[in-house]
Amino acid sequence: MNYVKTGMLLALLTALFMGIGFLLGGQTGMVIAFFVALAMNVFSYWNSDKMVLRMHGAVEVDEKDAPEYYRIVRQLVENADLPMPRIFIMHNPQPNAFATGRNPENSAVAATTGLLDVLSQEEVAGVMAHELAHIKNRDTLIMTVTATIAGAISMLANYAMFFGGRGGNNNVGWIGTIALALLAPLAASIVQMAISRTREYQADKLGAEICHRPMWLASALEKISVAARSTPNERAERSPATAHMFIINPLSGERMDNLFSTHPNTENRVRRLHQLASEWGGDQVAESAAPDIGIEGPWSVSDDDKSGPWG
């Protein structure tokens, strides 16, 4: 049902974009809007992962550079039956992470130094399982397309504001043009947020299944949410269109959840994970089901671990 809802929202976003083209330029404007959207999506399909990683200063690492982080991802990949993604670290004090890539065969996961420093290894596993769930569900492609169309709508709205009232093909007039310029980006943002929220809940559930421990992710979400509010993410603030990709909203306005947040309320997400843990018989799942990355006892980050390449 959630996939149907996501498809309907994407269709609505595309229809909104083409509708704006029609209002600004009639049938010709609608056709132009369609081909512009197509070109932007083709470009983002092949290049979005590189653009986003570069935008956030992500550095690729291997097992030698970040052994524990790499080992956690490798074990979770086996659990999820996925190809091994490229692994990146962002030198950023805010604990956060995201996944990107056009498909599972061409994917990447990125975690901030803040996340690797603040969270225990169990919690890091919960976060990475969530990001791998996005890859398995192909959410990274969906969210890239969504962001591209939403950005194109904003571009058309800006065009309408400056040039919309001058052309003979304008079907809305000056008052309509101003209303269009103000309301179209808002409508696109609301649809984008709705899609993002739907996919986040699904990734939480599948991520819990991948790591077999819902409470690992629940604990991580609580810690990240608190830390993100007090630790600014300057790169994310400069590129707000990518905020929906992170596991927790990296922008300073995260507390204004409800209608205008790209992410569901953290308390709601944690509550759902608690319910899932209860359905599975509490937060203790059979040890044979939990990921084994070769570390004895509880997964915790030692002082030595924290002084790795991200320290």
Q: What is the pLDDT of residues 6-33, one digit of tens each?
A: 566 667 777 777 777 776 677 787 777 7
pLDDT tens sequence across 205-214: 999 999 999 9
Q: Is 200 a catalytic residue?
A: no
Model pLDDT for residues 187-199, shown as the tens digit of each residue: 666 666 666 777 8
Look up the pTM and report it.
0.76
CB-CB contact of 142 with 10 (8 Å):
yes
Whole-angstrom Cα distance, residue 100 to residue 189?
20
Which of 68, 123, 131, 200 is catalytic? The answer is 131
Looking at the predicted structure, is the pLDDT value of residue 101 above 80?
yes
- The whole-number pLDDT of residue 151 equals 66
Helix (H, G, I), strand (E, B) or coil at 250: coil
- With H, G, I as helix, E, B as strand and everything else as coil, classify residue 99: strand
